[in-house]
Chain A
Amino acid sequence: MARLVVMGGGVSGHTTATFAKKWLGDEHEVVVVTPNSHWNWIPSNIWVGVGQMKKTDVVFPLAPVYEKAGIDYRQALAKEIHPNGKEGSDKPFIVIESTKEGESGQREELEYDYLVNATGPKLNFDATPGLGNGKGQMGTNTVSVCTADHAVHANLELQQLFEKAKKAKKDGTGERQKILVGTAHGMCTCQGAAFEYIFNIEHEATKAGVRDMLDIKWISNEAFLGDFGMGGLHMKVGGYTVSSKLFAESLYAERNVEWIIGAHTSKVEDGKIEYELLDGTKHEETFDFAMLIPPFAGVGFKAYDKDGSDITDLLFAPNGFMKVDAKYDAGAYENWKASDWPSTYQNPSFSNIFATGIAFAPPHLISKPMSSPNGTPINPTPPRTGMPAGIIGKAVAHSVCNMIKKGKDVTLHRASMAEMGAACVASAGKGILDGSAAAMTVYPVVPDFEKYPGTGRDTNYTFGEIGLAGHWIKHILHHMFIWKAKLKPGWTFIPE
């Protein structure tokens, strides 16, 4: 009997674990280690953040689902990896610390035959002074929509701001409220989530009758609007091939949302941020309400050899993400190739360890690297959205199951982001009759300029369109992926 341990129960880890258990059956063990008691459909957190959904609409408890699937579920934080075992035992293991009520802090050594790191990102709030509380958690100067709880809090603050605006309008004081949404560091990703949030705020403000009392502004580290960490995309519209920049700027202009781009937020205070632009100049921006996405890092594992020596550098890149079969010495931007990107997600030092979703270390950015004359890097880091995260998770599950059943030397399944597309739907306002969303596909996710000279992508399969249809699709995807994650009938037929 072999044991697969999956660290992380998000989109990628949950996909890996559930498919692996389905394919391995009762003959082998699948263990999921996650500090969370609930699964969160993160794409809908933005709707919680504007009061259009409740927390219970976007989360569900994991324990009953894993029990139904026959998966061993440990509500715990994985802290250490010992890939060569310890003195007296060659069996690899991880050290986990319980987060379950009543057992919090209890440590355990969990042996494994195969290990998948699907831990997602550490929300690195403390990377920007004033954004965090100094202890790794979000501070009090801004709000976030990265987790369901953060989004609940964000909505409370937003509604208070709407009330202020309504009162000012009613009293005729003319007092305006300033809203700032975007990224909180020069190396953030997840611009798409911030994009959704700012336009949902704008949509809700219009419905609430207070849009004319608000100044809504965007700030991000993108060199151009519509970059989204992917270097933007090109699509065919009206006989032309057009950059996403044009349509992104159009939406901001249409909705009266000013933008600051090429910005590294260097400090956050109560009601104010300081930021540096690509030209090296430094500025301040005040706000009454700010949602700024924190930069991501790996969750901070330590790895130890059999003799107790620290081998963290062997498994992890300096940013804390796990090394996989990527080309980490690709060098300058001019030398980047699609083939730099990993395809099997196997750690090069330990063939029984894999990393999926956000947890793997990308070889480099997708967007063009930029920095200010002061040497400050200001460029989006690569996004790993739900579809690629799920596809990678499933491919790794396939690979591990084959290794368990047929031996370690089987050909592994491939899922390179340079050979797969992504379908994304970015909400611009919720409403079954008056909502809208930008429905997009990009193929491939990581541009391949050798295969598709000029745009890096196949423009026959890369497109974007905003409208009510996009909103219907996003709403259906919400229900569909929660159905799938709950392992309800037919769940395997829903593609990642």
Chain B
Amino acid sequence: MKEEENFALNEQFNLTMIPGKFARKMRTCKIWQFFRFMVINIKMLIVVSKSH
């Protein structure tokens, strides 16, 4: 799989984790990212309110 090719490039890359096709696709899936936008904003607002 293309997503796994970088594991072979060097030892540094070989010993970590690389996102597969689904994980990469979800990063720019507008519907999913809109949902994550809401969740992240809520989480950030909570941290902001705890900090003031």
Contact = CB atoms under 8 A, between A and B. Distances in A.
Interface of A: 246, 249-250, 252-254, 256, 258-259, 387, 391, 420-423, 433-434, 436, 439, 441, 443, 461, 463, 465-470, 472-473, 495-496
Given A258-B12, A436-B27, A467-B27, A461 B34 contact: no
Given A249-B12, A258-B10, A467 B28 contact: yes
A465 B13 CA distance: 20
Nearest to A466: B27
Given A258-B10, A461-B46, A461-B50, A473 B17 contact: no
Given A246-B16, A246-B17, A441 B6 contact: no
Chain A interface, DSSP helix/strand/loop, else mixed: mixed
Interface string B10-49: 1011001111000010111010011011001101101111
A461 B28 contact: no
26 contacts: A246-B17, A249-B17, A252-B12, A252-B13, A253-B12, A253-B17, A253-B18, A258-B10, A387-B51, A421-B47, A421-B50, A439-B40, A441-B44, A461-B43, A461-B46, A461-B47, A465-B36, A466-B27, A467-B27, A468-B30, A468-B33, A469-B40, A472-B37, A473-B37, A473-B44, A495-B49
A205 B16 CA distance: 24
B16 A249 contact: yes
B36 A469 contact: yes
B9 interface: yes
Residue with the greatest number of chain A CB neighbours at <10 A, chosen from B6, B33, B34: B33
Chain B interface, DSSP helix/strand/loop, else mixed: helix
B47 A443 contact: yes
A387 B48 contact: yes
Given A443-B50, A463-B43, 5 more contacts: A252-B16, A436-B27, A443-B47, A467-B26, A468-B30
B40 to A, nearest CB: 5
B48 to A, nearest CB: 5
Nearest to A477: B44
Contacts of A466: 27
Contacts of B13: 252-253, 256
A468 B51 contact: no
Given A250-B16, A436-B27, A423 B6 contact: no
A495 B50 CA distance: 12
Contact-size category for B? 20 to 34
Nearest to A248: B16
A420 B46 CA distance: 11
Contacts of A463: 43
A420 B49 CA distance: 9
A249 B19 CA distance: 11
Contacts of A472: 33, 37
Given A434-B28, A495-B52, A250 B44 contact: no
Contacts of B49: 495
B6 A496 contact: no
A230 to B, nearest CB: 14
B28 A254 contact: no
Nearest to A431: B28
B28 A436 contact: yes
Given A421-B51, A466-B27, A468-B33, A254 B6 contact: yes
Contacts of A441: 43-44, 47
B33 A469 contact: yes
